[in-house]
Structure 1
Amino acid sequence: MPYHWHRHGGMRMKKKVAPALAVILLIVVVVGIGFLTRLIQKYTPSSEVMDSQEYFGLDSDDEAAIVVGSEIISYKGKLIGDVAYVDYQAVKETLNDYFYWDSDNNTMLYTMPTDVVQIPAGASSYTTDGKTQDLTYNIVLIDGSKTYIALDFVKQYTAISYEVFQEPNRIVINNEWGDVTVASIRKKGKVRTLGGIKSPILREVEKNEVVRILEPMEDWTKILTQDGYIGYIKNDRLVKEHTETLTTDFTAPEYTSIVKDYKINLVWHQTTSMDANYNIIYDIASVKKVNTISPTWFSIASNDGTLDSLALADYVDTAHDNDMEVWPLVDNFSENIDFAQVMNTTSARNKIENQLIAAAIEYSFDGINVDFENISEDAADGYVQFVRELSVMCRKNGIALSVDVPVPMDFTAHYNRKALGEVCDYVIIMGYDEHYAGSEEAGSVASLSFEEEGIQNTLTDVPAAKIISGIPFYTRLWCTTTNADGTTTVTSDALGMNDAQQVLENNQAESTWDETTQQNYAQFEGEDGALYQIWLEDTKSLTKKLELIKNYNLAGVAEWKLGLEDDSVWDLIAKYISS
């Protein structure tokens, strides 16, 4: 009995183990299948093809995508018959910003060195330098709120080449010339949206197709196909990588400039009345080696472009008799004008230009100085167009054109110094007002670092031979008052060089050299208990500023303003200008 009992018990144990092993085996199989499935999924390339309309951002069949260089831009174009049209803003921002759309008159303007080409919307001809050119297509189209320019017309004035492709519609523009890296396709492959086999397919490339290399990576390379697709392909599909030089036979127009064979030494002469003009002989009595004077004669008086003028022939004659060229200043300081409206209205711009040139001819001006300040972004395009148009007239009449610009800051980038430097003879940096009347804290009007950084940043857009460094003959006396609630109030008064020194004498205050600003600094407590601070402009601080002109080989110096200087500065400036 015991034997049989043991045998039957063992049989029962075997019967229990078998199902358990089966379950375990099943689990192993399932896990294995799952792992194998995931492994297969991981290494199996996606066959998803991205919709081309979606890839190029096209919402309708009448749109055409625009590829510029190695970027698909957000603006769109149109294909009408065999003519490609591109959104005006796309042309302006990416191809050629000399185009300007006059929305009031539905006319496209293009500024050449000696002419402004005008093309009304819908026109198939245009006139330049007195010659009419007839084309087989409309140059400018308006579709709702959008304005388009025929790309063939843009190409006449711009270093570009382009091709048109369909299904979907796209215009592929090249504006990048010089060396590029290209490669051939070794065997048929897929271009994907991102560098990975799971990324959607953009299109297939064929053997021997040539693509441009944009960004090589470890396993994938970002490429540009000739028909405008920008995507990624596996490195093993690329062969024969080499450098190719892209050339153009386009010849850019030459915007010639007046270049003096001497350093400019310009002083601004603030004249607020006709009677003040007659004081010139006294105002310049102590001046030495100033070769250019800029009287503040013109101001925009109304939105139609009418100018107030203080021009006087006797003043010009006196200046010329003292070996000074006369570059009268025009400003936008009147509170009675909407400056953006003036600049964005072609008739108003032209009226200002015509008045200035007429006065220059009548009074024998040698130049014109444009001092438009606090320009808002909505006035910027019109302002640059104004300067370009005025440059055409100045160029034709041998009149030097200069513009005054603030020290470059992020919030003044819209001044477009590069564009100004291309068409103007001189760009004057107003290297002052680092701290100004409305500043919330006391500080230097023009520290050396402020001045030097302004020069360095302007040099990125304007050649040194066209840059004049504007320096101040004034400073500010700052008054900081502590209020009953513990807050402070900061005010200031502008002082000329001699008046500033007189303030120190009157208050028995001594100045010490400030290494940070490279200026003499003084402070004292007033009888009212307020803290007074001043950063002086004197021969020592001006020497530092004048050395920058020599160090950076600039075109010269400009001083604001005549009458605020100590007589000793003229010998100092003459030393640096002469050298």
Structure 2
Amino acid sequence: MNKRLKIISIVTIMMSIIAIMAISVYIVYFAPNNTIVQAFDEGKLNLVIGDKIIDDGRPVIKNQEILLPLDIIKEHVDPYIYLDEKLKKVIVTTNDKVIRMNLNSPEALINNKPVNLKNPAIEENKVVYVPLYFLDDFYSIKVNYLKDKNVIIIDRKGTSIKAAEPVSEKAVIRKGESIKFPIYKKFDMQEELQNKMTVFGDSGEWLKVRSQDGIIGFIQKKYVKVTNQQLDAAKDTDKAKDTDSARGLWKPQHGKINLVWDAIYKTNTKGWVDEDRIQGLDVVSPTWFEVKDGKGTMVNRASLPYVEWAHKNNYKVWAHLSNNLGGPNNTGVFLNNTDAREIVINKVLEYSAQYRLDGINIDFEDINLRDKDVLTQFVRELSPLLKEKGLVVSMDITPVSNNENWSLCYDRKVLGETVDYIMLMAYDQHWAESPEAGSVAQQSWVENSVKRTLDFIPKEKLLLGLPYYTRVWVTESGKRLRSVATSMGYAKSLIKENNAQVRWDEESGQFYAEYNKDNGSNNKIWLENEESINLKSSLVHKYGLAGVAGWRKNFEVSEVWNVLNKNLKVLDSYEAWQSQNKEKKYVYKD
């Protein structure tokens, strides 16, 4: 009997142990964690932007309005919001608006028009705060302040999202993607309107969601229903509409754009009054405006008779605006001065109206890499105001390279988004002080420059810059290589008077000439003429570009205009150009 009881006791103990182990295994591996924890620090005002809880700075409430730290706006909402710490100014730029706010001022400027603020931008404890409700439409954001929850939620308007709602009482929002994580939120199945969630991620069995009260966590997909929705249509912002299409981006009546820069260094010019209208030319860009110093002083060589002559000949006038401050450091002084930028912007607006201009062409070159962002800021401040007045805004950039001051200084992607057109200055492959002689713009180099630029700029916004000049490379015994920039016609006359040998260079897509002079100098020319321009302009159709821009007027030979008119206005495809040129033989003509 005792033996039997003993066996029963042992079996009972073993069964208990097995049961305990089974329960333990279940609890450890299978039982859900039913602990409920707080998702927010309830003692503070919490900020949620999209699917992130922002902990690196807190908003404040002033006069029942939310003010957000500028650094948070810059990191999570608008990377281009600009603070001039010295002048205590905040500048916000969008596709069509420029908003200027002085710290502690109850008045702001929107496209130079004053508006009153319920709360100004302020600085407290070395933190700059910006009024959020004033900016929500400009940023296309929806701001939802849940006062009872002490939570502010910010979302982008016009965004396509997935929404979810629970279909089972087992649906809970957890801290992580496992039932072992604690619970942030349970749902009352009777409160359907309060149970909707926004979906931010899908890992298969789990969804990353945000509840209506801002709680961000994870929920099992099998317990919810998912639908597609639109998050509040945006009213007037970058994401909501194509501003260029809305205002009607200028294009020529026929074919592609044909622009020429007109190098003018005196005032009161009247245009090319002794010339007939150039067939196929759409736009002239006279070099009229220059920023002269760090204070925003400007050189103005504009001429109303010139504009009247141009308009009479059906040419648009896009005045050229450049930096001529004596080096990149001085240009940096100007770009980093908010007041100086504003002076120039207002002057350009004034001149545009005074001289009845059709556009502005921005040409800022030789910029220190450290000033890359303020160059972009200047363009973002200028462009919306010009567009508001109906002007076409364009900007000149160089080919992509590793040169800091001449290439890396351009934020090509943002500049391409900001202006109407980008001119690619696809020349000076071998520049004035190049250590070796070579083509100004070799055909293969030009094409590669186009392809690399199209990584940043939409093709329909890109104009190919063409050189209407060439260089004569001179090597004298015992002296350094030097070059002289000349017109096409003068280079051709040098070839003739020196009885130079000329051959077609397939690689450069140009005629190459070389001759020696009596003084012992060796002279080399890679000639730009109608043949080389024919090849380069074919790239417009090959890559679907907006057109061409030529530097500069009066350096070309007249045959160039015939070529451009045919390639840009008559032919409508690269295949058509190939058909016209497949049997072409390159024979030099004096």
> Normalization by structure 1: what TM-score?
0.71
How much identity, in percent, do the aligned residues show?
26
Q: Secondary structure at the match of 1:338?
A: helix
What residue is the counterpart of 2:423 in the other structure? 428
**Structure 1 residue 138: deviation in Å?**
1.4
1:107 aligns with 2:93: no
What residue is the counterpart of 2:140 in the other structure? 159
Bigger CA drift: 375-384 or 434-443? 434-443
1:513 aligns with 2:499: no
* Structure 1 residue identity aligned to 2:226: E
| Cα distance in structure 1, aligned partners of 2:503 and 2:451 | 29
After superposition, residues 289-300 of structure 1 pair within 5 angstroms as 289-300=280-291
What residue is the counterpart of 1:267 in the other structure? 260
**Residue 210 of structure 2: which of 208, 224, 245 is its match?**
224
Contact 1:66–1:75 (CA under 8 A) maintained in structure 2: no
**Structure 1 residue 249: deviation in Å?**
5.5
Q: Secondary structure at the match of 2:57?
A: strand
What residue is the counterpart of 2:581 in the other structure? none
| Cα distance in structure 2, aligned partners of 1:494 and 1:44 | 82
| Cα distance in structure 1, aligned partners of 2:558 and 2:58 | 62
| Cα distance in structure 1, aligned partners of 2:456 and 2:229 | 34
**Residue 450 of structure 2: which of 444, 449, 452 is its match?**
452
| Cα distance in structure 2, aligned partners of 1:452 and 1:398 | 29
**Structure 1 residue 243: deviation in Å?**
2.0
1:352 aligns with 2:344: yes
Contact 2:395–2:421 (CA under 8 A) maintained in structure 1: yes
1:240 aligns with 2:217: no
1:84 aligns with 2:82: no
In 2 relative to 1, CA 36–510 (structure 1 residues): closer, same or farther, beyond 3 Å?
farther
**Residue 569 of structure 1: which of 535, 560, 579 is its match?**
560
Contact 2:271–2:309 (CA under 8 A) maintained in structure 1: no
**Structure 1 residue 473: deviation in Å?**
2.6
**Structure 1 residue 385: deviation in Å?**
4.6
| Cα distance in structure 1, aligned partners of 2:140 and 2:398 | 31
* Structure 2 residue identity aligned to 1:569: V
What residue is the counterpart of 2:7 in the other structure? none
| Cα distance in structure 2, aligned partners of 1:131 and 1:494 | 47
After superposition, residues 147-226 of structure 1 pair within 5 angstroms as 147-164=128-145, 170-175=151-156, 177-185=158-166, 186-188=168-170, 191=173, 194-196=176-178, 201=182, 203-206=184-187, 208=189, 209-226=195-212
* Structure 1 residue identity aligned to 2:284: I
In 2 relative to 1, CA 222–62 (structure 1 residues): closer, same or farther, beyond 3 Å?
closer
Q: Secondary structure at the match of 1:327?
A: strand
After superposition, residues 408-557 of structure 1 pair within 5 angstroms as 415=410, 420=415, 424-433=419-428, 436=431, 445=441, 447-453=445-451, 456-460=454-458, 464=460, 466-474=461-469, 496-497=487-488, 508=501, 510-514=503-507, 519-520=509-510, 537-550=528-541, 554-557=545-548
In 2 relative to 1, CA 454–498 (structure 1 residues): closer, same or farther, beyond 3 Å?
farther
1:340 aligns with 2:332: yes
| Cα distance in structure 1, aligned partners of 2:370 and 2:528 | 36
Residue deviations 1:128-154, cap 9 Å, x none?
58987555x414121244322222112
In 2 relative to 1, CA 93–427 (structure 1 residues): closer, same or farther, beyond 3 Å?
farther
Q: Secondary structure at the match of 2:226?
A: strand
What residue is the counterpart of 1:559 in the other structure? 550
Contact 1:182–1:244 (CA under 8 A) maintained in structure 2: yes
| Cα distance in structure 1, aligned partners of 2:164 and 2:357 | 59
Contact 1:62–1:79 (CA under 8 A) maintained in structure 2: no
| Cα distance in structure 1, aligned partners of 2:277 and 2:217 | 69
Q: Secondary structure at the match of 2:341?
A: helix
In 2 relative to 1, CA 220–387 (structure 1 residues): closer, same or farther, beyond 3 Å?
closer
1:404 aligns with 2:373: no
Q: Secondary structure at the match of 1:355?
A: helix
Contact 1:469–1:558 (CA under 8 A) maintained in structure 2: yes
> Normalization by structure 2: what TM-score?
0.70
In 2 relative to 1, CA 479–359 (structure 1 residues): closer, same or farther, beyond 3 Å?
same
* Structure 2 residue identity aligned to 1:430: M
| Cα distance in structure 2, aligned partners of 1:175 and 1:522 | 58
Bigger CA drift: 534-543 or 213-222? 534-543
In 2 relative to 1, CA 298–48 (structure 1 residues): closer, same or farther, beyond 3 Å?
same
**Structure 1 residue 569: deviation in Å?**
1.2
In 2 relative to 1, CA 40–531 (structure 1 residues): closer, same or farther, beyond 3 Å?
farther
In 2 relative to 1, CA 144–523 (structure 1 residues): closer, same or farther, beyond 3 Å?
farther
Contact 2:500–2:513 (CA under 8 A) maintained in structure 1: no
Contact 2:165–2:197 (CA under 8 A) maintained in structure 1: yes
In 2 relative to 1, CA 127–492 (structure 1 residues): closer, same or farther, beyond 3 Å?
closer
| Cα distance in structure 2, aligned partners of 1:149 and 1:132 | 17
**Structure 1 residue 331: deviation in Å?**
1.0
Query: Size of the alignment, in residue pairs?
Result: 526
1:367 aligns with 2:349: no
**Structure 1 residue 305: deviation in Å?**
0.5
Bigger CA drift: 109-118 or 300-309? 109-118
What residue is the counterpart of 2:103 in the other structure? 121
**Residue 310 of structure 1: which of 298, 301, 306 is its match?**
301
Q: Secondary structure at the match of 1:564?
A: coil
Q: Secondary structure at the match of 2:360?
A: strand
| Cα distance in structure 2, aligned partners of 1:172 and 1:414 | 37
Bigger Cα Rg: 1
Contact 2:81–2:90 (CA under 8 A) maintained in structure 1: yes
Compute the RMSD of aligned alpha carbons: 5.0
* Structure 2 residue identity aligned to 1:154: L
Contact 1:400–1:425 (CA under 8 A) maintained in structure 2: yes
* Structure 1 residue identity aligned to 2:228: T
* Structure 1 residue identity aligned to 2:332: A
| Cα distance in structure 1, aligned partners of 2:464 and 2:143 | 42
Contact 1:104–1:345 (CA under 8 A) maintained in structure 2: no
| Cα distance in structure 2, aligned partners of 1:195 and 1:266 | 59
| Cα distance in structure 2, aligned partners of 1:494 and 1:73 | 58
Contact 2:142–2:157 (CA under 8 A) maintained in structure 1: no
